Structure 1
Amino acid sequence: MYHLLEQRLREIDTNQLHSYLRNARTGLEKESLRVTTDSRLSQRDHPAVLGAALTHPWITTDYSESLLELITPPQERAAQALDFLLNIETFVYQQLDNELLWTTSMPCVLAGDNDIRIAEYGRSNAGRMKHIYREGLAWRYGKAMQVIAGIHFNYSIDDAFWQPWQQVQGGAGELRAFRDAQYMALVRNLQRYGWLIIYLFGTSPAICKSFLGGRAAPEGMEEFNEYTLYEPFGTSLRMGNIGYTNSKENKTGVNVCYNTLDTYISSLRHAIATPHPEYVDIGVKVDGQYRQLNANILQIENEYYSTVRPKQPLQGFEKPTDALERRGIAYVELRSIDVNAFHPAGLTRRQLFFLEVFMHFCLLQESPLVSAEEFQAINLNQMLTAHRGRDPEVRLSCLGNSVLLRDQAKALLQAMRPVAEMLNAVHNEECYTDCLESQLQLAYNPNITPSARMLEEMLANQESFFEFARRKSLEHRDYFLKRELAPSLTQELQQLAATSLIRQQALENDEKMDFDSFLNAYLSGTLVDIKN
């Protein structure tokens, strides 16, 4: 099963390609809800002292005005990306006025959809479009799902690697086409084996009852106490049937194909261009007010809630599919990572090192095309792991075979050992085999996974999910308030915030077209020459 992986590892060693793997890049994105001192969702505006959410490169908002998103630029090492993230959050905490950042993926107490303010981005056309897109999500899916937080892991292989690797593989043709095919193979394996990240990293086995807004609890969910629901073997309810999944995918006809970059682009474009009757009934512009950007299966590419995305940085108001078509894949975004409530950054160094091993394993391991049947199995495996990942009897469908999750987890992690050894050699460190050993322990003992630890602490302290999350949030606030930033970094972040406010104001003052024309031009892909 791992013959091609072993062959490719030998080829890297024989052809001395280690140095080409040294300069991979890591970026992180972390979402956190701003909450009040009594741990209710903040109703305040995004703090101006943090800059403009529309134009700040590192500090923005996601769906809600209170859902903060911190973004690191690509870093030479994963640990440097984590340090960068810690510095940004330290700056944020030192500017916040009596608010907490919620430290779990599942939200705090919610008082219904009216409690969730959709993010505002100002009067510019770009700002209005971002807000209306979010209005559309509310009409289509409700607001509660949109305030679930997560961490995205962005990873790219050094461009210098692809040419010698193409020569070793005997590949002919354009280098970009080879690189895109290799990245899409990586993406397919990230989906194929992505259930493992849900098992190892899942930290959302419980929710506050208020999240359901009075709806009946889904099958399999039990009462932990008066205020909390949980699943006894759950790992990541965020990735389950109440969280970030395309629950309407079959109903609406979204059929995204990851077999090639061309099929990925064309299937997304089809969904973006195809009206859906249910969304037509909502209306697009009603009584002069936009409810959504359009009435199609997807308003824009970002509405497709996949666990992994091939990405290319955008230029101006470029559409993601257009950027991919023009310049190919620059990096891959893994989106299935829960916020780790046991670490202030939401992610540990060991977890990051393991993600690097996992990425290279998925790149080098054989990656057959995904059939319709396997795609269904991939989704089912992720759902089973999210809801029953620690159940010793739960079985997954892997390449047509029914296997115990725990056996498959052990086998996969053992297969990654030579990849970890390769990365040790690349960086002259031992951290990659060390981190693999720590993840193996979770495969052998589900009771020490982050999801099990959360439930164990809640039970030991006789606390609800809300009380657990609030306690951790207060601990992490104290950690960040005690950290000290270099004065030069503080000054840089203050300047970035001020500059972003000026940029937003300039956008609002320099509009050259009405919003209807702007939206039509964006959706038709003709705004690429206008710089944001």
Structure 2
Amino acid sequence: MAESRHSVFRQFAASDWNGFLKGVEKEGLRVDRNGFIAQTPHPQALGSTLTHPRITTDYSEALLELITPVCSSTQAMLASLRDIHRFVQQNLGDELFWSASMPCELDGDASIPIAEYGSSNIGRLKHVYRQGLAVRYGRMMQSIAGAHYNLSLPDSFWRTWQQALGNEQTLKDFKSDQYFWLIRNFRRRSWLLMLLFGASPALDASFVANVSHELSRFDAHTWFGPDATSLRMGDLGYHNNAQSSLNICFNELSTYTQTLDRAIHTTWPAYEAIGTRRGDEFIQINTSVLQIENEYYSAVRPKRTTEREEKPIQALESRGVEYIEVRCLDLDPFSPVGVNEAQVDFLDLFLLDCLLADSPRIGDAECERLDDNYKDVVARGRYRDLSLCRGGNRTPVDQAARELFDQLEPLAELLDGWNGGDTYRSALAEQRRKLPDTGAWAVPSAEVVAAMQSSGLGHREWVMEQSRRHQQALRSETLDPEVLAAFQTMTRESLGEQQRMEAADGQPFAEFLDQYLKS
């Protein structure tokens, strides 16, 4: 019998282990003092959303996205994220940075301004893509916010790991295969992240005005799922019927990129009926199942940093997988920066074990079971009698979680032994604490509902209070003068770079778009 990958890893010396490389992209809405989505342009003091390396927008002009650099420790990453938050909070004026994933008060699609990126062809392409999301799915779904966690391992680890496994591929191909090995196990276990970190069990009534749903009434302005963990990742959040035909289960890079490429070049009748223009205005990039790769909604993605005007598929095919992006994380409304240290350390442990555990390819039947497990935990993860399909058997959800925790324990002990301290055992213990023994669930979704109930506030008012509290805390903290100066420089340089791009663009947008689609 072949030696297990865990056993191979345990034979590493402490000096062979260089830790993780990590970063986070954290979204959040700007809202006015009445709790309504901001109608103002992106603050100029925050720079150009097209070219700023740390501060941009996602779908909406009001939906900020804060991006850390790649860091080698959780502490450095969270410190960077907090610095970005401090700078943003200093430049929001009377507005608040919404601390929850499900949005503030809205008034239909028209109240959600689509992000603007200037008059350059790249800027217009980004705007037209978002116009396409609006005509395909409506704008309401695009007002939801989350945190994306990016993780990679250094090449020094991959070379040692490749040698230990006796693998003779090129390093590029080996890394890509190993990241997909990890992703397959992530698919098998992603339900656990929704249980542990789902924090959107409730939403503002304006989000579901004139929409059929099965939520329960919390108060006059709030609906909630009594056992839900993440409405953001459920049927009311990110979903797309057209994409269900893609059937991507992430077995290998070639099939992943081929499937996405086919989707970008396969027309979808409903989108064809809309067309790409309304008069002289471009309203979507194309009429395919996907306009671009980023339109594919998934809990995890293999990623490669792209060059300017390079498509993600091209980057992956030419240089292989560089890191993985975990996309299913709700914002932690109890944290001023939307994520917390124990959560990040647990994610590292969880993802490393996904790489080390056995990971056979996923067939169609298993793919369907995994989707069902994920959807069940999203919709009713705190239901005491919920069971998951694992290995052909039904297992109560809390028992399944404990079994996974037990599996992670030896790896946490190994990493702590190499690093010194108890980082990973503590992070694991914090997650164990969330499961009910005889008492109630202590997962974030349960704590959000409990906090609203104890305060007597609905979703809108409770999140407003949290957002004010976080703003006050961050504004009271002094930003290091060198850090402040660096942000001011990024603002100035990003605005200048956008102006230079716009001045240099002489090609008509229609011609640029045609070339982009053919590339």
Query: Do the two structures share a fold, i.e. TM-score over 0.5?
Result: yes
- d(CA) in 2 for partners of 1:201 and 1:23? 23
Tell me by how many angstroms 1:95 deviates. Answer: 1.3
Q: Contact 1:21/1:157 (CA < 8 Å) preserved in 2?
A: no
- Residues 1:224 and 2:224 aligned together: no
Listed one character per residue, the Cα deviations across residues 54-100 of structure 1 (whole Å, up to 9, x for unaligned) are 00011000000000000001001122111100000100111111110
Q: How does 1:267-278 map to 2 (within 5 A)?
A: 267-278=259-270
Which sections of structure 2, spanning at least 5 residues, go unmatched? none
- d(CA) in 1 for partners of 2:99 and 2:230? 15
> How many residues of Structure 1 are paired with residues of Structure 2 in the alignment?
517
1:293 alignment counterpart: 285
Identity score, percent? 40
Aligned counterpart for 2:11 among listed residues 14, 33, 45: 14
Listed one character per residue, the Cα deviations across residues 159-204 of structure 1 (whole Å, up to 9, x for unaligned) are 1111221121122232221111100011111111011000000110
Tell me by how many angstroms 1:109 deviates. Answer: 0.6
- d(CA) in 2 for partners of 1:247 and 1:449? 30
1:520 alignment counterpart: 514
- d(CA) in 2 for partners of 1:294 and 1:395? 42
Q: How does 1:482-501 map to 2 (within 5 A)?
A: 482-501=476-495
- Partner amino acid, structure 1, of 2:260: L
Q: Which SS does the other structure have where 1:416 is aligned?
A: helix
- Residues 1:454 and 2:448 aligned together: yes
Listed one character per residue, the Cα deviations across residues 138-172 of structure 1 (whole Å, up to 9, x for unaligned) are 11111011010000000001111112211211222
Normalising by structure 2, report the TM-score.
0.97
Listed one character per residue, the Cα deviations across residues 91-125 of structure 1 (whole Å, up to 9, x for unaligned) are 01111111100000000011111100000000000
Q: Which SS does the other structure have where 1:155 is aligned?
A: strand
- Partner amino acid, structure 1, of 2:381: G
Q: Which SS does the other structure have where 1:32 is aligned?
A: strand
Tell me by how many angstroms 1:414 deviates. Answer: 1.1
Q: How does 1:339-488 map to 2 (within 5 A)?
A: 339-445=331-437, 447-488=441-482
2:20 alignment counterpart: 24
- d(CA) in 1 for partners of 2:338 and 2:217? 26
Tell me by how many angstroms 1:392 deviates. Answer: 1.1
Aligned counterpart for 1:329 among listed residues 304, 313, 321: 321
Aligned counterpart for 2:240 among listed residues 239, 246, 267: 246
2:136 alignment counterpart: 140
2:181 alignment counterpart: 185
- d(CA) in 2 for partners of 1:85 and 1:11? 35
- d(CA) in 2 for partners of 1:414 and 1:373? 27
- d(CA) in 2 for partners of 1:211 and 1:462? 21
Q: Contact 2:47/2:494 (CA < 8 Å) preserved in 1?
A: yes
- d(CA) in 2 for partners of 1:325 and 1:458? 48
Q: How does 1:502-521 map to 2 (within 5 A)?
A: 502-521=496-515
Tell me by how many angstroms 1:14 deviates. Answer: 2.1
Q: Which SS does the other structure have where 1:334 is aligned?
A: strand
Tell me by how many angstroms 1:421 deviates. Answer: 1.4
Q: Contact 1:353/1:431 (CA < 8 Å) preserved in 2?
A: yes
1:528 alignment counterpart: none
Tell me by how many angstroms 1:395 deviates. Answer: 1.4
Tell me by how many angstroms 1:429 deviates. Answer: 2.2
Listed one character per residue, the Cα deviations across residues 232-258 of structure 1 (whole Å, up to 9, x for unaligned) are 1111111111112334433xx223241
Q: Which moved more, 1:440-449 or 1:264-273?
A: 440-449
Listed one character per residue, the Cα deviations across residues 413-440 of structure 1 (whole Å, up to 9, x for unaligned) are 1100112112213322211101101101
1:171 alignment counterpart: 167
- d(CA) in 1 for partners of 2:44 and 2:56? 11
Q: Which moved more, 1:48-57 or 1:281-290?
A: 281-290
Q: Contact 1:25/1:78 (CA < 8 Å) preserved in 2?
A: no
1:530 alignment counterpart: none
- d(CA) in 2 for partners of 1:303 and 1:418? 38
Q: Contact 1:22/1:427 (CA < 8 Å) preserved in 2?
A: no
- d(CA) in 2 for partners of 1:399 and 1:289? 52
Normalising by structure 1, report the TM-score.
0.95
Q: Which moved more, 1:513-522 or 1:37-46?
A: 513-522
Listed one character per residue, the Cα deviations across residues 310-349 of structure 1 (whole Å, up to 9, x for unaligned) are 0000011100011000000110000011100111111111
2:210 alignment counterpart: 214
Listed one character per residue, the Cα deviations across residues 462-494 of structure 1 (whole Å, up to 9, x for unaligned) are 111111111101110111111111101100100
- Partner amino acid, structure 2, of 1:160: S
2:227 alignment counterpart: 233
Q: Which SS does the other structure have where 1:242 is aligned?
A: coil
